[in-house]
Amino acid sequence: MGHPPLEFSDCYGDSPDFRERLKCYELELERTSKFLKDVIKDGNSVINAIKGYSVAVHKFSQTLNVFQFDFIGDSLTDDEINIAESFQEFAGLLQEVEDDRMMLVQNACDLLIKPLEKFRKEQIGVTKERRKKFEKESEKYYSQLDKHLNLSAKKKEIQLQEADELLDKERLNFYESSVEYVYQIQQVQDRKKFDVVEPVLAFLHSILTLNNLTVEMTQDFMPYKQELQLSLQNTRNHFESTREEMEELMKRMKHPTQIGKMHGQPTIEGYLYSQEKWALGVSWVKYYCKYHKDSKLFVMVPAEPKPATKQGPTELKLKSCFRRKTESIDKRFCFDIETYERNIPVTLQAVSEANRKLWMEAMDGKEPVMELNEVGFKFVRKCINFVETKGLTQEGVYRTVGSNIQVQKLLNAFFDQKCPGDVDFHSSDWDIKTITSAMKFYLRYVPVLLNVVKLILYSLDDRLGAIHSLTYKLPEKNREMLSLLIQHLVNVCSNSGDNLMTPSNMGVIFGPTLMRAEEETVAAMLDIKFQNIVVEILIEDYTKVNLKNVITFPPLQRAQESCDRYLMHCGIINIQVFHGTLHSRFY
């Protein structure tokens, strides 16, 4: 709201209109003074609030910084290492922001409070003093004027001259104080335009500068944030995969028949019935059997020896173990073992289905139809062809699970011994979920990467070298199947924009499928994350691992052993250097 200017000439007239205009200036001055009080008060509140907030954030960052993650197991994945260090990263970022904020708070008083207080003291305060002087001189002048006008004309001339001089003096003082007051009050109105706004602007600039720095720091923080979010997602996926396996193990361990498997016991023992053929027919003989897993020695002791005979224990060296199909024998809970001592399999009967499963797991038993043979390769190739023809871009391919009944129906039909492989995948009976679940089921029972040692390596080159060495040691069929599968998974992941299946997701799905721990324990379940990483690296670095071109030279192994003996004879101790040179020349 504008005010008409106060002219110095108006001070001499001192009209009611001049006084009214002067009063408007005085009211505005009071309003400005009150406004500055509120700004100073609220500004202090803001500064104190910033101080309190900054102190709280500092305390929060210190709490984050001192916390250390503990993990189950003796090694961490890259994602877990990233997560373990995240709180220190958070603390460092918060500390950096709050250091800048504390600098703002320390300067805030000089930027905002002191200039405003100085304006109130030196400008408004001085103006009020001038007003007091103006009012005092005004009162004296008009009081003297009243007295002067009341003088009698009959007074002596000298008395009248003295009265005139006194009035002139009071009038001069009044005019002087009026002019100074008018000057000062108009100066305040003009000065507040910059003396008040400049401190507020400086304070606001500091706040916005801090906000701008915070935005820049946020931009710098974004790559780390995205990397950490990926690590968190990968770790969550690993957790879900491990949790499912651990829940299954927990359920099995609740059953009394699982007690014999606990603590990684190297043997399993109990009663079994053996099918034996005699001249008069087939009979089932009861034995107390013991299997030593390390030596693969299977010992059979007759439970009911005949009185007239001395029948001792029978020791057999295990080659393989297979479950007997229900339709192939009229007894329940049966399985066959192949041994080096006998030309035909030994058919054994367990006391229950759970007991048979224990024996088969101890002997690394397999389903009768689940072998890594030509039929299995045909099955996997047909599954891959179907997926790459009809489901390559389907969202969540391999993640969604098919019906167990349909999966078993497909497996039984394809691996039927009478006509194996005679199944039309493109018929209406099979959908993509059934086929992908059936393929995972088959690969789970014939794991391609057996007895994988946990890869705890810290550089990408070490990991690639270790995985390459691992694939080099695989049997030819296992390596061929692995190459076939990984090439397919590379194709699937190349369409991740549509199917949302990344190498990390595929690792979570196929890590436990392709690899099997030596024993089922919680520790082994927690190591699934390393199996997932192996599959993820195989997919991402398929060309570097070069599965297709890995070849073996059995004669070279024997030649190398002979060289070892010759080198030792010649006094060459560092044989490993020779091995490395030999490997680089031939591989």
Show me where the domains of the chain are located.
15-126+190-220, 262-362, 374-549, 554-586
How far apart, in whole angstroms, are the C-alpha atoms of residue 514 and residue 470? 14
pLDDT digit string, tens, across residues 342-378: 888 899 999 998 889 889 989 988 776 567 888 889 9
352, 331 contact by CB (below 8 A)? no
How far apart, in whole angstroms, are the C-alpha atoms of residue 287 and residue 211? 81
436, 387 contact by CB (below 8 A)? yes
Compute how many other C-beta atoms are within 10 angstroms of the C-beta atom of residue 467: 23
* C-alpha torsion 189→193→199→205, nearest 10: 160
500, 232 contact by CB (below 8 A)? no
Contacts for 231-236 with beta carbons within 8 Å, 24 or more apart?
Answer: 231/78, 231/79, 231/80, 231/82, 231/83, 232/79, 232/83, 233/504, 234/79, 234/504, 235/77, 235/79, 235/80, 235/83, 235/529
Ramachandran angles phi, psi of 536, nearest 5°: -60, -45
533, 515 contact by CB (below 8 A)? no
* Averages of pLDDT over each 10 residues, the chain, 587 residues: 79 88 90 92 89 90 87 76 87 88 80 90 91 92 88 84 89 92 90 89 85 85 89 85 79 62 68 85 89 93 75 90 76 91 90 89 78 87 92 91 84 78 81 91 76 45 73 83 92 92 90 72 68 86 68 41 46 43 38
Q: Which of 253, 261, 246 is nearest to 525 (CA)?
A: 246
How far apart, in whole angstroms, are the C-alpha atoms of residue 25 and residue 19? 10
How far apart, in whole angstroms, are the C-alpha atoms of residue 551 and residue 475? 10
206, 111 contact by CB (below 8 A)? yes
How far apart, in whole angstroms, are the C-alpha atoms of residue 521 and residue 262? 8
Say whether 374-549 and 262-362 share the same fold.
no
- The pLDDT, as a whole number, for residue 208 is 85
Q: What is the pTM of this model?
A: 0.52
Place of tokens 């701008």: 212
- The pLDDT, as a whole number, for residue 549 is 56
| Token digits of residue 246 | 């651990």
Architecture of domain 262-362: Roll (2.30)
Question: What residue type is assigned to position 212 of the chain?
Answer: N
Helices (DSSP H) in 196-266: which residue ranges?
197-253
270, 299 contact by CB (below 8 A)? no
Dihedral sign, Cα of residue 243, residue 247, residue 253, residue 257: negative
How far apart, in whole angstroms, are the C-alpha atoms of residue 508 and residue 244? 12
Mean predicted lDDT score pLDDT of the chain: 81
Assign domain 374-549 to its CATH superfamily: Rho GTPase activation protein (1.10.555.10)
Range list of β-strands (E), 415-517: 449-450, 515-516
197, 147 contact by CB (below 8 A)? no
How far apart, in whole angstroms, are the C-alpha atoms of residue 443 and residue 421? 16
Residues 6+ apart with CB under 8 A from 388: 488, 491
- The pLDDT, as a whole number, for residue 38 is 94
How far apart, in whole angstroms, are the C-alpha atoms of residue 150 and residue 246? 114
How far apart, in whole angstroms, are the C-alpha atoms of residue 10 and residue 4? 12
398, 440 contact by CB (below 8 A)? yes
54, 102 contact by CB (below 8 A)? yes
The residues with which 315 forms a beta bridge, in sequence order, are: 299
Rg of the chain on CA atoms, in Å: 47
Q: Which of 68, 94, 100 is nearest to 83 (CA)?
A: 68
How far apart, in whole angstroms, are the C-alpha atoms of residue 547 and residue 483? 6
- The pLDDT, as a whole number, for residue 495 is 93
Compute how many other C-beta atoms are within 10 angstroms of the C-beta atom of residue 398: 23
Residues 6+ apart with CB under 8 A from 297: 291, 315, 316, 317, 318
Going by their DSSP bridges, the two strands 346-349 and 267-278 should be labelled as antiparallel
Going by their DSSP bridges, the two strands 314-323 and 297-302 should be labelled as antiparallel
